[in-house]
Amino acid sequence: MWKMIVSLTMPFILVVLFTRVTYSHYIGTLLTVALLLASYYKGYTHTWGVAFFDLASLIAGFLYARRMKTRLKA
């Protein structure tokens, strides 16, 4: 249960954090994907549901970071 909650929140937070640090939502998403792939490789993801929630959170984080970045430019 807690893995599902973490997989729904952490990729979103990481994408936004990395976007704020690197000033690029593409690089922020790429760094988050690299961390997710490393965790998959180490075997921390045991079900497809967790991977699906990670992907959904990653997409939501990318969309939010893109919108946040365009608002900061204006």
Whether the full predicted model's pTM is greater than 0.75, yes or no, is yes
**What's the total number of domains in the chain?**
1
CA 1/CA 67 separation, integer angstroms: 30
| Mean pLDDT, 10 residues at a time, the chain of 74 residues | 89 95 94 94 86 94 92 76
Q: Are 69 and 25 in contact (CB under 8 A)?
A: yes
pLDDT value of residue 74: 66
Range of the domain at 7: 2-73
How many angstroms separate the first and last alpha carbons of the chain? 40
**What is the C-alpha separation between 7 and 72, in angstroms, rounded?**
27
Q: In the 8-state DSSP scheme, what is residue 43?
A: T
Distance CA 32, CA 26 (A): 10
**Which pLDDT score, from 0 to 100, does residue 62 have?**
96
